[in-house]
């Protein structure tokens, strides 16, 4: 990418500027667990996530426009429109997990949503809730209430992103459910284009931005297994690793099993053979 300037990196993705209007988002095969990037890669993980995101972008243009311009032949790089990103993470939760469960246990509320008493861990909520968070540069995003989010993006824009995020979650979670995957929650990022329009950016409904649970193993009252990372988590727990940097190397069977789970998520959700995607990435856009 000699033509592109590196402009940012996440734990597992890199962002390059192509020109004044366009960015290149490159998904690596790195994997993180318990917030630590492991020294061992999962082959094709970045391609699975890039293809899944593009699949969702193509299927949600009726809800909101998105930043995708094109997929590169490497199947892991997305050319996208440069936006002015909103300074909030737009999280939608259909189930009570992660920081939502923690906040509920401590206060009975999540981001100002007062919930019924006596809900169990991982329980399905009566209706999905919009639970925005601040974007922390380092460390953890902080859940915020409606007033704090409105102070960051404005009352009108907040109402628009809330309605849009809830519509997107409903569309994606209904589809995933019909394919045996529970989309427990998801994090979306929006930006504003040069015309002032709201546009969906970043990645969408991937296992890195959402909690994917296998529907057949779902039991409220416990933490369901992660569809994608469960072998990695189980291996790390059995090792007794203290979850500080650096993480452990993964053995071949854990790598192979995890790769198979990512590919299975891709194929279940898209109904496209993963090899077809590798041969011609644009198949996910059809």
Regarding 23 and contact with ligand Q0N (CB under 6 A), the answer is yes
Nearer to ligand Q0N, 81 or 268 (CB): 81
Regarding 46 and contact with ligand Q0N (CB under 6 A), the answer is no
Nearer to ligand Q0N, 59 or 82 (CB): 82
Eight-class DSSP state of 47 = H
What is the distance of C-alpha 257 from the center of its chain? 21
CA-based diameter of the chain, in Å? 56
**Quick count: other Cβ atoms within 10 Å of Cβ 73?**
11
Annotate each residue in 25-44 with x if it binds ligand Q0N (CB under 6 A) or - if it does not, as one string: x-------------------
Residue nearest to ligand Q0N (CB): 10
Annotate each residue in 190-229 with x if it binds ligand Q0N (CB under 6 A) or - if it does not, as one string: -x---------xx---------------------------
Regarding 87 and contact with ligand Q0N (CB under 6 A), the answer is no
* 228-260 burial: b if 16+ Cβ within 10 Å, else e: bbbbbeebbeeeebeeeeebbebeeebbebbbe
Regarding 133 and contact with ligand Q0N (CB under 6 A), the answer is no
Give the range of 9-17, 91-99, 102-110, 233-241 binding ligand Q0N by CB under 6 A: 9-17
* 158-167 burial: b if 16+ Cβ within 10 Å, else e: bebbbebbbe
Per CB under 6 A, the list member of 67, 76, 157, 259 interacting with ligand Q0N is 67
Regarding 100 and contact with ligand Q0N (CB under 6 A), the answer is no
Which residues pair with residue 190 across a beta bridge?
200
Please check whether residue 82 is in contact with residue 22, taking contact to mean a CB–CB distance below 8 angstroms: yes
Helix (H, G, I), strand (E, B) or coil at 126: strand
The tokens 């192979």 sit on which residue? 256
Regarding 9 and contact with ligand Q0N (CB under 6 A), the answer is yes
Regarding 65 and contact with ligand Q0N (CB under 6 A), the answer is no
Would you tell me which residues interact with ligand Q0N (CB under 6 A)? 8-10, 13, 15, 23, 25, 67, 80-83, 85, 191, 201-202
């Amino acid at each position: 990418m000699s033509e592109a300037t590196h402009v940012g990196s996440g734990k597992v993705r890199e962002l390059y500027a192509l020109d004044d209007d366009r960015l290149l988002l490159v998904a690596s095969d790195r994997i993180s667990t318990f917030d630590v990037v492991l020294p061992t890669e999962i082959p094709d993980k970045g391609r699975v996530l890039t293809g899944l995101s593009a699949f969702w972008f193509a299927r949600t243009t009726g809800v909101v426009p998105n930043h995708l311009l094109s997929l590169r032949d490497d199947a892991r790089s997305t050319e996208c429109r440069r936006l002015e990103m909103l300074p909030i993470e737009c999280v939608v939760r259909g189930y009570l997990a992660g920081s939502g469960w923690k906040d509920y246990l401590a206060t009975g509320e999540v981001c100002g949503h007062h919930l019924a008493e006596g809900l169990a861990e991982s329980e399905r909520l009566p209706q999905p809730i919009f639970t925005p968070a601040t974007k922390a540069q380092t460390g953890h995003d902080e859940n915020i209430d409606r007033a704090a989010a409105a102070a960051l993006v404005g009352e009108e824009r907040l109402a628009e992103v809330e309605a849009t995020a809830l519509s997107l979650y409903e569309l994606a979670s209904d589809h995933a459910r019909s394919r045996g995957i529970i989309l427990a929650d998801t994090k979306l990022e929006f930006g504003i284009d040069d015309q002032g329009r709201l546009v969906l950016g970043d990645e969408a409904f991937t296992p890195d931005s959402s909690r994917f649970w296998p529907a057949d193993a779902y039991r409220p009252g416990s933490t369901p297994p992660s569809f994608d990372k469960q072998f990695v988590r189980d291996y790390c727990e059995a090792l007794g690793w203290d979850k500080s940097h650096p993480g452990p190397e993964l053995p071949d069977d854990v790598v192979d099993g995890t790769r198979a789970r990512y590919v299975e998520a891709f194929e279940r959700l898209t109904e496209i053979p993963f090899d077809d995607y590798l041969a011609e990435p644009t198949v996910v856009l059809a």
